[in-house]
Amino acid sequence: MRLLLDTHIWIWSLLEPDRLGSRTRAALDEATSEVWLSPITFWETLMLAERQRVTLEPDAEAWIRAQLARVPWHEAPLNAEVALASRRLDVRSDDPADRFLAATAQVFDLTLVTADTRLHHIRGVSILPNS
């Protein structure tokens, strides 16, 4: 399975794995699963740290770099197709990051792993709810 992690799922998998549902944990632990991340995830993580909604040591950028070096992952590019798809999708969220993540999943044929119920029913996007 090719899994695109929503920002909170990525952070939880590293800092609070108990928040992951059993299906999510099983998908992440599956040997054949590929973990994909969007640059939007790194941007959102930096924003969360700046707003003191998450504490990352020694600082957010160093923490992100350390995690990326430690855990195998693939980068899903933020490109023109993703930008165009982000406006076509019927997303029930006003958060542009949600739109970009959903569009990334659609364009690159990835399964978006998320606990955000506003994203669970987007037509044309494969979703793995955190359960």
The string of pLDDT tens digits covering residues 13-56 is 999 999 999 999 999 999 999 999 999 999 999 999 999 999 99
The end-to-end CA distance of the chain, in Å, is: 16
- pLDDT, one tens digit per residue, over 81-130 is 999 999 999 998 889 999 999 999 999 999 999 999 999 999 999 999 99
Question: Which of 88, 83, 94, 86 has its CA nearest to residue 118?
Answer: 94
* DSSP symbol at 33: -
Question: ω into residue 77 within 30 of 0, thus cis?
Answer: no
Q: How many CB atoms lie within 10 A of CB 123?
A: 7
Which CATH superfamily includes the segment(s) 2-129? 5'-nuclease (3.40.50.1010)
